[in-house]
Homo-oligomer: A and B are copies of this chain.
């Protein structure tokens, strides 16, 4: 299992797709976006669910956390059942978020990868993508890495997704 953690528009999904292309075995990619899409529409706007503020802030309620815990258990079970899994994550709680995964892993080996991108560059990419709430990239750029421990870190500020993927892949085989 590989966990890629980084802020919005830091380039995690691009690295995940490049990893799927360069790694010799088939890997599945799941992310927090997969979970959000699976939720009822009402939870994307409610206190119990997730809320995207106009300034790019993201708040999640207890209902969201409960479903997320079950989601994490499920992803870990897929890995235990033999699937190679890349997780594309945004640790809004920093070290606390990482601990939730560690608690669920029960000894399963994970390659922890930090995906960094300078805030100003991530902001520009957020505008270029055009499908995200403006402000998320800047709000999350530093926040998601606080206290998180990595096996390796990549920085997309001046490196392409494919270059970063090759660095990660070299640690997998």
Binding site for B on A (CB under 8 A): 11, 13-15, 17-18, 20-21, 26-30, 34-35, 37-43, 48-49, 63, 66-67, 69-71, 73-83, 121, 124-125, 127-130, 134, 158, 160-163
Give the secondary structure class of A's interface.
helix
A69 contact set on B, CB distance < 8 A: 81-82
Alpha-carbon distance between A161 and B9 when the two chains are bound, in angstroms: 13
Residues of B close to A83: CB separation below 8 A? 67, 70-71, 74
A42 to B127, CA, bound (A): 11
B162 and A127 form a contact (CB under 8 A): yes
Inter-subunit contact A73/B67 (CB<8 Å): no
Q: Is the CB of A128 within 8 A of B14?
A: yes
List, in ascending order, chain B residues with CB within 8 A of A124's CB.
Answer: 18, 160-163
